[in-house]
Amino acid sequence: MDGKSELIARALSLAGSDLLIGGEWGPAASGKVGAVLNPANEAVLTEVAVGAERDGQAALDAAASSAAAWAATAPRERAEILRRAFEAIMARTEDFAALITLEMGKPLADALGEVRYGAEFFRWYGEEAVRAFGRTAITPEGNLDVITVRRPVGPCLLITPWNFPLAMATRKIGPALAAGCTCVLKPASLTPLSSLAVGRVLVEAGVPAGVVNVVPAESSAAVSGPILADPRLRKLSFTGSTPVGQGLLAEAAPGVLRTSMELGGCAPFIVFADADLDAAVAAAVVAKTRSNGEACNAANTFYVHESLVTDFSVRLAERFAALTVGDGLNPGVDLGPLVSAGQRRDVDSLVAAAIAAGAEVLTGGAPVDGPGFFYQPTVLGSVPKDAAILTTEIFGPVAPVTSFETVDEVLARANSVDVGLAGYIYTRDIKLVQRCARELEVGMLAVNTGPISNAAAPFGGIKRSGLGREGGPEGFEEYLDTIYVGLPR
Ligand code: NAD
């Protein structure tokens, strides 16, 4: 076997092909399996068990019956398990990264970044596990001591998307376990492998049977629906698209479940007149192409001041044209395939509509022929203000550039969408930064930089980008209830 085949074999062995329920690895109750495709060549990578309603119920049974014992575990013990899981992932970063690349398509270097980012949620929340602090106070009347006690919320359903198949799982499991919650993880149907590998690491790190259950499914709703209707479930944490999130919120309403919803975005990348153009172009490339452009916080729409727009567009197009597209496991590849044929079709329709509306193709603009769901790195210039591509989540390596004249105008245009996840601004004017922090309708603002995701920082959106935060102390709160104890003085 050559080096690449060995890497593939090692990566696939991390995941196995079984469901994890109640500490046991096994087939789906129906015996059904589903194929996982490699988006770089459309070949079947492997087959995994796909659960349905019965498997989901068995997983919830396991999560519910292990909940009290896990909640009673010493915080230090939970912390040590998470720490061991962090170490185990870090010891095999390349294998985990290859697994991400194989099932999702992002280049290996990018996937290595996801592994480090994702593993950090186990270390960070392991450290946080021993810090579930409450507070004390005295009522203003002086008659009661007010004491708050923190308790784990209880069994959680965690549903993750395909674009960060490892990090979206660890970003939920880390704080859940640290807080003392048990969980059922339902990974995206396209990318179940990284989640199964995370399940294996946790079992090896000593997580007790039933505390973490992993149930890939062909039909997500068949697994999640009955779990959401079960009164033993106490929380739903979902990352995915806004329409699916809206449906799940409705399903969570009868049980009045705690919900954390990390939904879609449409991030503006605003280059103001006084920006450092070199830095802005460099950051634009990263903010647009990371994870093949399939990131919820990817820069979606480039608003560039009219005095800089020609220069910016030309330079961005040069940088995009120089990107190497190919199988993410091959050396030197900057951009891998999109995750599926459907995803590529959606991206191409948005591009075609923008061109029909008058946008100018500065580079790219079409799918790449051949096996694999590749799309040319694309920069569109002079995009008309009303083109749908400016206000729709693109989820591909396509950068539409539009110009603006005034600050009022660009803030109004950027805020005209019904989502508000991330925003990027380039300016040297601190007053303008402060104004954007007040007025740009986003949950996360990157100032003169591209990447800002971090385990220590609260990731999340406003408007239809979601509810709650992941990362930082805020992400821990999502899995804790606050119980008030009143004691007469
Ligand atoms: P998706 O909404 O199609 O799927 C997300 C998850 O929900 C998957 O596990 C899927 O199998 C499951 N699902 C789909 N339909 C369901 C249903 N009816 N009932 C229960 N589960 C169902 O999203 P996707 O295409 O996997 O991911 C891309 C989307 O995720 C983008 O909109 C992106 O912005 C968003 N996203 C958001 C964040 C964030 O932190 N805000 C992070 C990553 C991705």
pLDDT of 1 higher than 80: no
**Span 291-302, average pLDDT:** 97
- pLDDT of 451 reads 85
Percent of the chain with pLDDT over 70: 100
Distance 244 CA to ligand 1 centre (A): 7
Q: Where are the domains of the chain?
A: 3-263+465-486, 267-455
Give the pLDDT of residue 481: 98
Give the architecture-level CATH label for domain 267-455: 3-Layer(aba) Sandwich (3.40)
* pLDDT tens, residue by residue, 409-461: 999 999 999 999 999 999 999 999 999 999 999 999 999 999 899 999 999 99
Token pair belonging to 144: 């009661």
C-beta 363 within 6 A of ligand 1:
no
Marked catalytic residue, from 156, 181, 183, 296: 296
Distance, in Å, from the CA atom of 277 to the CA atom of 433, rounded to the nearest integer, reads: 17
Mean predicted confidence (pLDDT) in 333-337: 98
Active-site annotation holder among 114, 120, 128, 262: 262
Query: What is the mean predicted confidence (pLDDT) over 199-216?
Result: 98
Is the Cβ atom of 471 under 6 angstroms away from ligand 1? no
User: Is the Cβ–Cβ distance between 181 and 153 less than 8 Å?
Assistant: yes
Q: Is the CB of 284 under 6 A from ligand 1?
A: no
Active site residue 441: no
Tell the residue nearest (CA) to atom 8 of ligand 1.
188
The model's pTM is: 0.97
The answer to whether residue 296 is catalytic is: yes
Strand partners, 363: 379
Residue 370 has pLDDT above 90, yes or no: no
Q: What is the mean pLDDT of residues 260-285?
A: 98
Q: pLDDT digits over 47-64, tens only?
A: 999 999 999 999 999 999
Q: Ligand 1 within 6 A of 296 CB?
A: yes
223 lines ligand 1 (CB under 6 A): no
**Average pLDDT value for residue range 171-194:** 98
Give percent of the chain above pLDDT 90. 99
| pLDDT > 80? residue 268 | yes
First to last CA, the chain: 74
DSSP state of 240: S
Do the domains 267-455 and 3-263+465-486 match in fold? no
Q: Is 240 in the pocket of ligand 1 (CB under 6 A)?
A: yes
Q: Please work out whether the CB of residue 393 comes within 6 Å of at least one atom of ligand 1.
A: yes
The CB of 22 under 6 Å from ligand 1? The reply is: no
Name the residue of 53, 193, 244, 350 whose CB sits within 8 Å of the most ligand 1 atoms, as the mutation to test its pocket: 244
How far is Cα 52 from Cα 300, in angstroms, rounded to an integer?
36
**No. of helices (H) and no. of strands (E), the chain:** 16, 22
- CA-closest candidate to residue 213, choices 28, 397, 381: 28
User: For 156-277, where are the E strands, in sequence order?
Assistant: 156-159, 183-186, 212-214, 235-239, 258-262, 267-271
- Please name the residues in contact with 182: beta carbons below 8 A apart, sequence gap of 6 or more: 62, 63, 64, 66, 67, 70, 154, 155, 156, 176, 210, 211, 212
- CATH assignment of 3-263+465-486? 3.40.605.10
How does DSSP assign 333-344, residue by residue? --B---S-HHHH
Q: Which atom of ligand 1 is nearest to the CA of 264?
A: 34
In whole numbers, what is the pLDDT of the chain averaged over residues?
Answer: 97
Tell me the pLDDT band of 124, cut-offs 50, 70 and 90: very high
Residue 264 pLDDT > 90, yes or no?
A: yes
Protein residue with least CA distance to atom 42, ligand 1: 296
Q: How far is the CA of 217 from the centre of ligand 1 (A)?
A: 14
Tokens coding 150: 């923190």
Separation of alpha carbons 73 and 272, rounded Å: 52
Q: Could you report the per-residue pLDDT of 156-165, keeping only the tens digit for each? A: 999 999 999 9
pLDDT (0 to 100) of residue 432: 98
Which residue has its alpha carbon closest to ligand 1 atom 26?
Answer: 161
